[in-house]
Amino acid sequence: MSFIITTPLYYVNDKPHLGSIYTTLICDSIARYKRLSGENVIFITGVDEHGLKIQRTASNKGVDPQSHCDEISNTFIQNWEEWDITQNKFVRTSSKKHESIVNEFYSRVKKSNDIYIGIQKGWYCVGCEEFKDNPDNSPTHKCPVHQKNLEWKNEENLFFKLSKYQSEIEDLINQPEFIQPKERRNEIINFVSKGLKDFSISRTNVSWGITVPDKQNHTFYVWFDALLGYVSALSHHMNDPSLEESINNGWPADIHIIGKDILRFHAVYWPAMLLSAGMELPKKVFGHGFLTREGQKMGKSLGNVLDPNILLSKYGKESVRWYLLKDITLGSDGDFQNKRFVDIINNDLANTIGNLLNRTSSMSRKWFDNRVPSNNILNDDNKLKLKATETVKKYLNHFNAYEIDLAANVILNLAINTNLYLNDKQPWLLIKDKENIYKVSNVIYNVLESTRIIGLLLLPLLPDLSSKIDKQLGSLYFKDKSWTEQLVWGRLKHKSLLPTPSPIIEKLEYE
Ligand code: MSP
């Protein structure tokens, strides 16, 4: 059994922006966490390459769509490498493999009698690649997300009988675990309660798409095509893929992590398409919030994006990961503010965690011959041990419930408590009296052990920082042994050597 997690497949109209990095980092941390917990993970990401938006972007650049897609897809692949994303599959919807899965899926849906031809009229947003139900009454009909004019469409399309699946979709979305967080679920319940309308799955005016096998002048609607990327990603056969083989390789997905703007597609349209094709449904759809700047969604079309490459080279990936994963409640919107970013990195990582490690390691080296002291007092009134054990429990529960920000915050809380413990015990005063040596060795052991656990808990969130902490403690983490077992208090070996400390993270400067 595999654990399958997916990011959305990103449009290749431009290189990745911080919004796409955000979703991908969330998935990366969950994938890392699940692997550390012993699961066999298939982490799928990739790009959505067809449709009018991409066709126009390529034509504005004066290049053919395929070379445009090749260029931008490569940028995504490179970026994911730079951000250390640990995906197992990178899917491209312009690949032959994907095309043949889409065709086979279409023929299944057709066999279920769910396709018919009709006329599609309505206001369309090319940015969203979506017809809008209630365009506002302004003369220009602007898309609320992209702030661009909608376009009137009136053409012959193939339709999918979504309405046929009304009661099955209702049953699905009424299951509390299917859509998260729960505020999002209510939005969808409300939408479905108004009655599902059939939707068009082909276009006659878009040449950049997969040709519908029995309608040569139609290409598949980009969403009908793209959602299947989650399935075609699972096929190992480049030349001779089949739906059956992809399904046998692990379908269904355990969780689709997406932004709230594309929840309808994942929680309503997609399950209905899968039901029609006789396939199993994903177990969960999680709709996260938007990253905003000045309260507006950050997006390519709005021109207010933060360049992730600049953030990466200026601040490093660990800082950006920490800010996005710890400071933004997963599911809610989060405003990116430079000052807050710098403060959080300096307070949490440099001061609270980094200093704790360095000063304790220095004291230990000075007083105990460059080594970890023993914890030799037998009475078990050890508040820090209790705190660390409780933290591990809470952290695992939060991660299992996809509350990543809460998981990150309990780590920070343990670090704060460890600092308080150290300041309360004041080993630098105790050491002045030789008689206190046992007490001091106990205090230092406890603080170092707590720091070891903090470092291990950071592994899915901040892999580099975590391994720096581990190195400073004498490389105690064993990759080939169970991570969860190593989270148990008391694994720090007394007398093990402590290397010379150096800062695990540089403090950031304000702009
Ligand atoms: N191609 C479709 C997805 C198809 S999935 C089969 C798409 N692509 S997208 O590139 O426009 O967006 C991809 C994801 O990035 C979406 O989940 C979207 O919500 C997310 N984000 C785009 N801008 C964002 C922010 N400013 N903040 C957070 N996430 C945002 O939609």
Sign of the CA dihedral running 421, 423, 425, 430? positive
Q: How far is CA 348 from the centre of its chain?
A: 22
302 Cβ closer than 6 Å to some ligand 1 atom = no
The pLDDT value given to residue 295: 67
CA distance 140 to 152: 11
262 Cβ closer than 6 Å to some ligand 1 atom = yes
The pick from 10, 231, 325 for probing ligand 1's pocket by mutation, whose C-beta has the most ligand atoms within 8 angstroms, reads 10
Closest CA to 198 of 166, 150, 153: 166
CA distance 476 to 357: 15
The pLDDT value given to residue 132: 84
The pLDDT value given to residue 381: 66
Residue type, 397: N
Half-sphere exposure of 78 (CA within 13 A, CB side): 10
Dmax (CA) for the chain in angstroms is: 90
Compute the distance from residue 22 Cα to the ligand 1 centre, in Å.
10
Reduced to 3 states (helix: H, G, I; strand: E, B; else coil), residue 151 is: strand
In this structure, the residue with its CA closest to atom 6 of ligand 1 is 227
- Interior/surface letters 139-171, b for 16+ CB within 10 angstroms, e for the rest: eebbbebbebbbeebeeebbbbbbebbeeebee
Contact 427, 360 (CB under 8 A): no
The token pair at 193 is 């309660």
299 Cβ closer than 6 Å to some ligand 1 atom = yes
Give the Cβ contact number of residue 208 at 10 Å.
Answer: 24
Closest ligand 1 atom to residue 48 Cα is 1
CA distance 116 to 158: 6
Give the Cβ contact number of residue 505 at 10 Å.
Answer: 21
Q: Give CA separation, 243 vs 102, 237, 266, 278, 301, in Å.
A: 9, 11, 19, 11, 35
Contact 318, 465 (CB under 8 A): yes
Q: Which H helix or E strand runs over 422?
A: helix 404-425
The token pair at 348 is 């949490």
- Cβ-Cβ contacts under 8 Å for 156 (sequence gap 6 or more): 117, 118, 119, 120, 204
Q: Give CA separation, 399 vs 2, 26, 28, in Å.
A: 18, 11, 13
CA distance 455 to 449: 10
The pLDDT value given to residue 356: 97
CA distance 226 to 1: 25
Contact 267, 180 (CB under 8 A): no
Closest ligand 1 atom to residue 20 Cα is 15
CA distance 458 to 450: 12
Quick: pLDDT tens for 125-181. Answer: 888 888 887 665 556 678 877 778 888 888 899 999 999 999 999 999 999 999 999
11 Cβ closer than 6 Å to some ligand 1 atom = yes
The pLDDT value given to residue 139: 60
CA distance 189 to 167: 12
In this structure, the residue with its CA closest to atom 4 of ligand 1 is 9
Compute the distance from residue 35 Cα to the ligand 1 centre, in Å.
25
The pick from 6, 23, 305 for probing ligand 1's pocket by mutation, whose C-beta has the most ligand atoms within 8 angstroms, reads 23
Give the Cβ contact number of residue 26 at 10 Å.
Answer: 23
pLDDT tens-place values along the chain, 511 residues long: 899 999 999 999 999 989 999 999 999 999 999 999 999 999 999 999 999 999 999 999 999 999 999 999 999 999 999 999 999 999 999 999 999 999 999 999 999 999 999 998 888 888 888 888 766 555 667 887 777 888 888 889 999 999 999 999 999 999 999 999 998 999 999 999 999 999 999 999 899 999 999 999 999 999 999 999 999 999 998 778 899 999 999 999 999 999 999 999 999 999 999 999 999 999 999 999 999 876 667 766 667 777 889 899 999 999 999 999 999 999 999 998 888 999 999 999 999 999 999 999 999 999 999 999 988 765 556 899 999 999 999 999 999 999 999 999 999 999 999 999 999 999 999 999 999 999 999 999 999 999 999 999 999 999 999 999 999 999 999 999 999 999 999 999 989 999 999 999 999 988 7
The pLDDT value given to residue 375: 82
Compute the distance from residue 305 Cα to the ligand 1 centre, in Å.
13
